[in-house]
């Protein structure tokens, strides 16, 4: 038996200035992702609003780098602001839990969400009634040698052939595209990183802006977005689940 046999709408990607619009978009069934830099003015205002819980702040204090602390607090502040508006609750009262693999969730709620951060950037994705995953990986974090070494551990044979057929100066970006899309699927499914990453083969998605993949007893619509003045991200949305 399958659920969610219809395809979800294409996700909409917005900046932090569109934060007040998100609850309405979510209620309408529009998948949406919001991307923010920890250094922009709106982020500072959100952090100063004191939306996070004591335990979330204590966890942030355990990060060694200030950038990581800020990313954690900004991500949680965005979640609490948006979900509080959706659920008609004060931000601090939103009952966010975390599973064993680190995925945040709210038990029994239709609004699904996910969170990612990288190199000073934070992205949060929301979808009503469908699991959703998002990943953002800032460029410039790895070089060609690191990408080649990681590809042998994480990519399928088809993905590795695709990588080797690309021009040498394009391989790091191609590897990061594959990595972002794999991460988005894994985070949507909620399993965290798996030992057999090559089994999640996304080579067929590299020549199109969006496609579908089977993983974890469900089908996922997986796509990329490169908004102007924002880093690229990948989003995976559940299209159906075997029951």
Q: Looking at the chain, list the stretches that DSSP marks H as alpha helix, in order from N- to C-terminal side.
A: 22-27, 41-48, 54-61, 66-87, 144-154, 157-165, 171-189
When the pLDDT of each residue in the chain is averaged and rounded to a whole number, the result is: 90
Pairing of strands 32-37, 97-98: unpaired
Q: Kindly report, residue by residue over 197-222, the tens digit of the pLDDT.
A: 899 999 999 877 789 999 988 999 99
Q: Kindly report, residue by residue over 62-74, the tens digit of the pLDDT.
A: 999 999 999 999 9
- Vertex 171 angle, CA 166 and 174, to 5°: 95
Residue 219 confidence (pLDDT): 93
- In whole angstroms, give the CA distance from residue 63 to residue 27: 35
- In whole angstroms, give the CA distance from residue 232 to residue 137: 7
Rg (C-alpha) for the chain, rounded Å, is 18
Per the structure block, which two tokens stand in for 92? 């601090």
Higher pLDDT, 183 or 228: 183
Per the structure block, which two tokens stand in for 226? 């490169």
Confidence of residue 3 (pLDDT cuts 50, 70, 90): low
Higher pLDDT, 8 or 60: 60
Determine how many CB atoms are found less than 10 A away from the CB of residue 27: 13
Confidence of residue 108 (pLDDT cuts 50, 70, 90): confident
Print the SS3 string covering 94-125. Answer: CCCEECCCCCEECCCCCEEEEEEEECCEEEEE
Cβ(1)–Cβ(243) below 8 Å: yes
C-alpha to C-alpha distances, 167 to 122, 163, 170, 203, nearest whole angstrom: 30, 8, 5, 16
Dihedral sign for Cα 88, 94, 95, 99, please: positive
Per the structure block, which two tokens stand in for 28? 């309408």
> Could you tell me the residue ranges of all domains in the chain?
8-136, 144-242
Residue 1 confidence (pLDDT): 36
- In whole angstroms, give the CA distance from residue 69 to residue 53: 14
Architecture of the domain spanning 8-136: Alpha-Beta Complex (3.90)
Q: Residue 215: in which H helix or E strand, if any? A: strand 210-215
- In whole angstroms, give the CA distance from residue 163 to residue 209: 17
- In whole angstroms, give the CA distance from residue 91 to residue 17: 18
Residue 151 confidence (pLDDT): 94
- Averaged pLDDT for residues 116-142: 91
Cβ(99)–Cβ(190) below 8 Å: yes
């Amino acid at each position: 038996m399958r659920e969610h046999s219809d395809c979800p709408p294409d996700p909409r990607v917005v900046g932090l200035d569109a934060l007040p619009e998100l609850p309405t978009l979510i209620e309408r069934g529009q998948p949406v992702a919001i991307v923010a830099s920890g250094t922009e003015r709106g982020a500072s205002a959100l952090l100063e609003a004191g939306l996070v819980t004591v335990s979330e702040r204590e966890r942030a204090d355990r990060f060694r780098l200030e950038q990581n602390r800020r990313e954690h607090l900004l991500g949680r502040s965005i979640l609490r602001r948006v979900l509080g508006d959706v659920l008609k609750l004060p931000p601090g009262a939103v009952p966010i839990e975390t599973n064993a693999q680190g995925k945040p969730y709210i038990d029994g709620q239709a609004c699904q969400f996910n969170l990612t951060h990288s190199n000073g950037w934070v992205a949060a994705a929301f979808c009503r009634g469908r699991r959703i995953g998002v990943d953002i990986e800032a460029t410039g974090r790895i070089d060609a040698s690191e990408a080649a070494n990681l590809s042998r551990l994480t990519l399928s044979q088809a993905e590795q052939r695709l990588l080797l057929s690309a021009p040498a100066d394009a391989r790091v970006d191609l590897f990061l595209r594959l990595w972002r899309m794999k991460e988005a699927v894994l985070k949507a499914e909620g399993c965290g990183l798996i030992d057999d990453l090559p089994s999640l083969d996304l080579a067929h998605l590299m020549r199109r802006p969006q496609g579908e993949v089977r993983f974890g007893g469900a089908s996922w619509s997986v796509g990329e977005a490169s908004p102007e003045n924002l880093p690229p991200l990948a989003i995976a949305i559940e299209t159906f689940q075997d029951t």
